Amino acid sequence: MPDHKLGNLPGTPLYLDRLNESATDAVEGNITDLTSDLVDLGEEVDAIDTDIGAGTITNAEISPSAAIAYSKLNLANSIVSSDIATGTIADTDIASAAAISYSKLNLSGSVTNGDLAGGIKGNNLALNIGPSPPSSPSNGDLWIYTDSPGTGYYWMFVYDSSETTYKWKFIGGAPLIGENSSDNTFTDNGTVQDASTPGPSVTLPRAGDYEVVAQAALFFATQAALRVMEHFCVASSGTWLNGTATSVFASNETTAGRLVAGSGKNRLRGASASATITMKYVAETDTGTAHTSDRAIYVKPIRVI
């Protein structure tokens, strides 16, 4: 069978040499052309770069998917409030040493007891202090009454709208005191009267209900028999708890020269503002002169207007 392999054909070696030369020439020519094209492209790119002036590229010419790296952006002093979406700044975005000014914080209705380290100092509390309560109070509001800020006495009240008339309830403070420690006389004739120096007395600052405590010492210089001596508190308005306008605070039988101290407590209801409570005295008729000393009235409010 005849051998048809290419190498065995007559003239084949010469043909293959020429074929290799042609292929080499073609490849070398393509590479040369490609190199020339790349050089031309580079020159065109340089020309385009030269043609693009600073500030000439607009937003519309940037692809929405360009995804320009943040490090390539110069945003110093350029970001404005409208660039920041609401609710996107997290706590970790704020420097621990930011020291944001208090005036820039909106804390209205947000500060809780847990935010107050060590409590609140008294001079930092915004309290209503003065002779009149706040004009539009709400339940639980506090008011500190004083007749003379800084020098007078102080009563603290809390507002209770459920009360019909006297809505400010007393929750603390020292009593209003009227006192006289001197020895004064009065006539032993069975009638209620002032001592030679009247009183003591107190003036109520607000209309309301009050608790009254009174005390006094009583004695006869000389006396023929046991006699009753009493001290009373008389109010210019209101009603005592026992239903009478005059309240008996103590009733004492005495012997000559014996000093007998008496005290008592009562409640005055519905007193008007500026009403007075005054201590008065009575003694049964005897041979001596009646005396009183070391007398005092202590008044605290229960509830007021």
Highest-scoring range by mean pLDDT, 68-82, 101-115, 145-159, 189-203 = 189-203
DSSP designation for 272: P
- The C-alpha angle 9, 15, 18, rounded to 5 degrees, equals 165
**Longest pairwise C-alpha distance within the chain:** 181
Domains and CATH numbers, the chain: 124-173 (no CATH), 176-304 (2.60.120.1400)
Each residue's pLDDT tens digit, 218-257: 988 888 777 888 888 999 999 999 776 566 665 566 667 7
Each residue's pLDDT tens digit, 138-177: 999 999 999 877 777 899 999 999 999 999 999 999 999 9
**What average pLDDT does this structure show over 23-28?**
57
For 245, the token pair is 């306008």
Per-residue b/e over 118-149, b at no fewer than 16 CB within 10 Å? eeeeeeeeeebeeeebeeebeeebbbbbbeee
Q: Cα–Cα distance between 188 and 193 in angstroms, integer?
A: 10
Which pLDDT does position 28 carry in this prediction?
58
Across the strands, what pairs with 178?
Answer: 297
Q: What is the mean pLDDT of the chain?
A: 82
- The C-alpha angle 9, 10, 12, rounded to 5 degrees, equals 70
Report CA torsion sign: 84, 90, 91, 94: negative
Q: Cα–Cα distance between 127 and 43 in angstroms, integer?
A: 82
- Answer yes or no: pTM beyond 0.85: no
Cis-peptide into 200, omega within 30 deg: yes
Which pLDDT does position 204 carry in this prediction?
97
Q: With bands split at pLDDT 50, 70 and 90, how would you rate the model's confidence at 292? A: very high
Whether 10 shows a pLDDT value over 60: the answer reads no
Q: Cα–Cα distance between 201 and 280 in angstroms, integer?
A: 9
How many residues appear in the chain? Answer: 305
Q: What percent of the chain has pLDDT over 90?
A: 42
